[in-house]
Amino acid sequence: MPTSETKARDLAERRRLEIVHAAFAEFAERGYHNTGIADIARRLGMGHGTFYRYFANKRDILVHVLDHTVDRLRAVVARDAPGAATTLAEYRAQVERIGYAMFDLFVEDPQLMRMCFVEPMSVDAELAERVLATHGAMSALTEEYLRNGVRRGFLRADLDTDVTAQAVNGMVIAAGLSLLRTPADRERWVRAATALMFDGIAGASAGGAEPAE
């Protein structure tokens, strides 16, 4: 039995979400700096004063768009538990699943990348730091997966999990950027990326774990 107060709160919450979505669309379309509050409001058919009932200022909405978008990303990565895989094959399958999911996310909304990593970078130092922190957090997540693999023994014992996690995340970023420009073959991307990740590029015969010396 929802009281009128909770109903009002729900309505307000829905409104906030609407604005977040509209802002996402506008920012994605023309960029944060080329978007006015009026543009966001117009997209929702509401007065631009109304915007300020829900968000403190322009930067505030960007923060919320960012958070909202990062959550979507994080959800995909976190869906598969880091400790789930017990064999290399399982692990690889898990990575592929995540890869496919992220790829689909990027395909569904190619601007997602931009909203998470590009637009907020050029607003102010604090937001830039926040983006980088997010990137760091996602690398930490990736590292969990790697650590698990090392612990279980199916990943190289001498793996530098920290740096490797960041490098792997870099591949994901590259995929995202690539999709901003041209549609890509999902299968091919994930296959090539996992191949690179697990096996490297060295010829099978020549391959050794040791760096050249």
Partner DNA sequence: TATGAATGAGCTTTCATTCAT
Partner DNA sequence: TATGAATGAAAGCTCATTCAT
Site residues (CB under 7 A) for DNA, limited to 113-172: none
Among 35, 69, 139, 161, binds DNA (CB under 7 A): 35
Query: Of 56 and 212, which has the nearer Cβ to its own copies?
Result: 212
43 binds DNA (CB under 7 A): no
Which of DNA, its own copies, none interacts with 1 (beta carbon under 5 to 8 A by kind)? Answer: none
Site for its own copies in 13-32 (CB under 8 A): 30-32
Q: What is the largest CA-CA distance in the chain?
A: 73
Q: Measuring CA to CA, which residue among 163, 167, 159, 168 is closest to residue 102?
A: 168
Q: Which listed range, 54-62, 68-76, 99-107, 156-164, lies at the site for its own copies (CB under 8 A)? A: 156-164
Site for DNA in 3-32 (CB under 7 A): 8, 12, 15
Asked whether 76 and 105 are in contact (CB, 8 A), the reply is yes
What's the alpha-carbon Rg for the chain, to the nearest Å?
21
53 binds DNA (CB under 7 A): yes
Angle between helices 58-79 and 4-30 (to 10 degrees): 90
Q: DSSP letters of 58-115? A: HHHHHHHHHHHHHHHHHHHHHHS-TT---SHHHHHHHHHHHHHHHHHHHHH-THHHII
Give the H/E segment covering residue 37. helix 37-43
Among 44, 46, 101, 118, binds its own copies (CB under 8 A): 118
Query: Of 18 and 111, which has the nearer Cβ to its own copies?
Result: 111
Site for DNA in 193-212 (CB under 7 A): none
111 binds its own copies (CB under 8 A): no
Among 49, 183, 203, 208, binds DNA (CB under 7 A): 49
Which of DNA, its own copies, none interacts with 83 (beta carbon under 5 to 8 A by kind)? Answer: none
Q: Residue 116 carries which DSSP code?
A: I
| φ, ψ (nearest 5 deg) of residue 76 | -65, -45
Q: Which listed range, 18-26, 41-49, 60-68, 115-123, lies at the site for its own copies (CB under 8 A)? A: 115-123
Helix (H, G, I), strand (E, B) or coil at 46: coil
Which of DNA, its own copies, none interacts with 201 (beta carbon under 5 to 8 A by kind)? Answer: its own copies
In Å, what is the CA distance from 182 to each residue of 106, 176, 178, 185?
12, 10, 6, 10
| Residues forming the site for DNA (CB under 7 A) | 8, 12, 15, 34-38, 45-50, 52-54, 57-59
